[in-house]
Amino acid sequence: MLSKAPGPIGIFDSGYGGLTILHGIRQLLPQYDYLYLGDNARTPYGPRSFEIVYEFTLQAVTRLFEMGCHLVILGCNTASAKALRSIQQNDLPKLDAERRVLGIIRPTAEVIGSLTTSRHIGIFATEGTIKSESYKLEIQKLFPDIQVSGVACPFWVPLVEYNEADSPGADYFVKKYIDQLVRQDPDIDTVILGCTHYPLLLPKIHKYIPRGIRIVSQGEYVAESLQNYFERHPEIEQRCSKGGQSHYLTTENPDKFKEQAQLFLREPIEVENVTLG
């Protein structure tokens, strides 16, 4: 039986990248409690099939519900692309119809219409997110006139996780995918970083992106969307506890997670191990 008492806001990611989403949300909404779960033992999700990503994401959502969360945010673009709709439509009614699971693609899609002038935008993301065409579908549902081009960047996540984001070796791979996107559509004036790891590559991205192209990181937009969601759904907001505390869980080694998390949060944290599946 799931608890009815107020609980933390759950943030789930396949690894560390969702920490950039958590950071953005905490900047705007520091009063709430947060429970972050990283499935680091099974990352990356990007190349995995829809079925496996859905299975793993559902396990994580279920665990966060069991730990008291009434609201879970999939702070992972791949999980948002491949699992969110199925969980919302098929699983929530069975698990608990009063709980909610939100993704991070829709909030970014909602703001893009006000950011682009040329109506040509680009997406940098994992292979799984690009193949799913989730961004294109969401954006063109809201703004049918916008042209969307996407490039998969398989080397960007490893560059971040191996702490090579500032290294000279990163320049080649950052420039390579930027050039690829600009060749695809020279009229692009706005680019979405469709993976939560990518903000850590921003210094390199700004170095090689053509002048005049705007870079959109998701953290602030997801935070603003959540604030707006709470205003529209006070019954959900009231079920989120407010103690200003953050706790962290990983399916991998807690010490390793703690060390990597410093890259994203710039603060010391305590981490516990959890098993999924």
Catalytic residues: 76, 195
CA distance 75 to 218: 10
Nearest to 86 by CA among 119, 55, 113, 111: 55
Instruction: Give the C-alpha distances (Å, rounded to integers) separating 202 from 86, 122, 125, 166, 244.
Output: 32, 15, 14, 10, 29
Q: At what angle do helices 105-112 and 219-232 cross, to 10 degrees?
A: 100
CA distances from 72 to 58, 104, 267, 273 (A): 11, 11, 23, 19
Q: Virtual CA dihedral for 20, 23, 29, 34, nearest 10 degrees?
A: 90
Cite the DSSP H helix spans in the chain.
18-28, 50-66, 77-82, 84-86, 92-95, 105-112, 127-132, 134-142, 156-161, 168-184, 202-208, 219-232, 234-237, 254-265
